[in-house]
Chain A
Amino acid sequence: MSAVAPSVPKLDAPGARVTFPHVLLAEWTKFRTVRSTAWSLGVGFLLTTAIPLIPAFVTDSHWATMSAQDRANRTPLNIALPGVFIAQLAIAVLGVLMITAEYSTGSSRSTFAAVPKRLPVLWAKLLDYALVTIVLMVPAFLISFFETQAILGNIPELQVSFGAPGIARCVLMAAVYITLVGVLAVALGAIVRNTAGGIALYVAIFFVIPPLTLTLPTSWQNAIQQYLPSEAGQQMFALRHADHTLTPLAGGLLFAGYCALAIAIAAVLLRRRDV
């Protein structure tokens, strides 16, 4: 590291300017060049595809001795898709980190000095992350479905074709649900700007508030529960429409609405607050 008084080389980049495609590429570079990305996504993918193997093997080996009630409780999809609940945790944590790591490390200052309009950064993070999550989760749930079907090959009652009514929708919508969870997590991270706080907010919405409604009178539960973000979102990949639940379409739209609301709040705060 010699001491020099160097001349800055001339920049040969005519017409260079901040555009959304440029910011999208920059955010993609940032996303793929930290270790937590590969770890979270790798673990998320692995668990999503590995977890269903447990109920599949257990069911396969114990089917002969199972009670009628136990048998009735098992469906091809609830054996294929338990990975949803693991995947959403991994995807949510990484989504929160996408924004909060900028603030905890100070890189937010570089980021927003380069893109002082700020909002393109939020849109780029959301879009990059949604694309990555959907590209990862569609194969993950397809694998989950087909691997569990293969393991359950000896049990005709649990065999179902991918083309049967609702099956393809549930498998694919599980991936969309996880993607929306990821998007929501990015927005929560942008609102809270603190990793622990963002993750706590996510956990509260998905894991704390739903059981709390169980303490309410049944009539209230029935009225309220279906509109909670987690409950509404999970109808997207529910095969049967139970009482006091939304239809897959209504549930999906409501969940997307919650995501849009969180994004709107994040955008307003991002413009207004000091970096």
Chain B
Amino acid sequence: MLTERGYGGPVIEAHELTKNYGEKRAVDGLSFTVQPGIVTGFLGPNGSGKSTTMRLILGLDAPTQGSVTVNGRPYREHAAPLIEVGALLEARSVHSGRSAYNHLLALAQTHGFPKRRVDEMIDLVGLREVARKRAGQFSLGMGQRLGIAAALLGDPKTVLLDEPVNGLDPEGIHWIRNLLKGLAADGKTVFVSSHLMSEMALTADHLIVIGRGKLIADTSVDAFVASASEKVVLVRSPDLTRLREQLAGPGVTFVDAERGAVEVHGLTAEQVGDAAAAAGVALHELTPQQASLEEAFMNLTKDEVEYGAGRPQPEPEPEEAVA
């Protein structure tokens, strides 16, 4: 499966990836693939191991166990790694005393890219006016643009972005979102991490969700929402009191919505409709409620949020894991 060019398999393949930092296990038996040509969201609460996974993919950290390949081989073994994968890491990766231009120039020179490539990237990310300023004086947003320029230097088919919108102002967030759309439109493979589900909803086709270093879900965005949604139905009726009596049962709860309506949790629309018909209660509305992505994410990861400082503790397997 290892071919020089025209490799047709997954872009990134992680196999039983595990990373310990001393006593603490940051990534725990993580297996997943990133498929070419789509935007894959890499989602998890803060501290769930996303950045560590990114570092393992790039060979910056070595896995304690397991392996990860990029286009069929370890990142380290590629002759021109910047052409295979461009990466924006969350942590700042620029010498504060060096100008943006010189930072990019040195990176370009490692691969023998021409100097005009550096200028192209500076124009692409809109840093022309400050290209000769020391990167230490850059705002967070400018720093992110510089990081993006570095990631795209080799015109890679695959782009890794670790929490690209973290800490950005609205304009910066807007810029990153547009960039992601542009990359996707170019047919690039994008693997982008975030702890914000709403961010993923805007761009991702596929989701890999992790919590405490373990895989929780590897699924399309649509399937993810469907699987994680609780059964919730909005019901509007002139006789809510009787309807509630009819529907009451174990696992069924009611949340008052606006006047004359109630959210029924724990039953499908079919069950509610049938029960209403059997009791002769008129329904004015019967709407299945889809959980928002954010709610779906919260549901899946509520057991996986890292509380406090890494105290090793036995971890029950989450029941709702989606394969």
Contacts and interface: CB of A to CB of B under 8 A. Distances in A.
**A and B part of one assembly:** yes
Interface of A: 1-13, 15-19, 22-23, 25-27, 29-30, 33-36, 101-102, 105-110, 112-117, 272, 274-275
Contact of A30 (B96, B98, B154): B98
Contacts of A102: 95
B80 A8 contact: no
B182 interface: yes
Nearest to B96: A105
A26 B107 contact: yes
B67 interface: no
Interface string B101-123: 01101111111111001001000
B110 A114 contact: yes
Q: Chain B contact residues (Cβ within 8 angstroms of A): what range?
A: 35 or more
Given A33-B102, A34-B97, A113-B87, A8 B112 contact: no
A26 B124 contact: no
A30 B99 CA distance: 10
Given A22-B112, A34-B97, A7 B102 contact: no
A117 B95 CA distance: 20
Given A16-B83, A113-B58, A5 B181 contact: yes
Q: Which of B98, B102, B112, B141 has the most CB of A within 10 A?
A: B112
Contacts of B150: 110
A23 B107 CA distance: 9
Contact of B93 (A13, A23, A110, A115): A110
B154 A274 contact: no
B110 A11 contact: no
Contacts of B97: 34-36, 101, 105
Interface of B: 55, 58-62, 75-76, 78-83, 87, 89, 91-99, 102-103, 105-114, 117, 120, 124, 126, 141, 145, 150, 152, 154-155, 171, 174-175, 178-179, 181-183, 185-186, 188
Contacts of B103: 107, 110
A105 B134 CA distance: 13
24 contacts: A1-B145, A1-B171, A3-B171, A4-B175, A5-B182, A8-B152, A8-B182, A10-B155, A13-B111, A17-B79, A17-B111, A18-B110, A18-B111, A101-B95, A110-B150, A113-B58, A113-B89, A114-B107, A114-B110, A116-B76, A116-B78, A274-B55, A274-B61, A275-B60
B16 to A, nearest CB: 19
Query: Which 9 pairs show the lowest CB-CB distances between chains A and B?
Result: A11-B155, A5-B182, A26-B109, A33-B102, A5-B178, A109-B93, A274-B61, A107-B95, A116-B76
Contacts of A33: 98-99, 102, 106
Contacts of B120: 9
B60 A112 contact: yes
Nearest to B97: A34
Given A1-B126, A29-B109, A116-B75, A18 B89 contact: no
Given A23-B110, A30-B95, A274-B61, A18 B102 contact: no
A7 to B, nearest CB: 6
A109 B91 contact: yes
A6 B149 CA distance: 12
Contacts of B76: 116-117
B274 to A, nearest CB: 48
Contacts of A34: 95, 97-98
B105 A29 contact: yes
B182 A11 contact: no
Contacts of A108: 93
A9 B124 contact: yes
Nearest to B160: A113
Contacts of B99: 33
A116 B61 CA distance: 10
A113 B55 CA distance: 9
A101 B95 CA distance: 8
A5 B186 CA distance: 10
A113 B54 CA distance: 11
A106 B59 contact: no
A110 B155 contact: no
B319 to A, nearest CB: 34
A68 B81 CA distance: 69
B95 A13 contact: no
Q: Which of B62, B98, B111, B114 has the most CB of A within 10 A?
A: B111
Nearest to A105: B95
A19 to B, nearest CB: 7
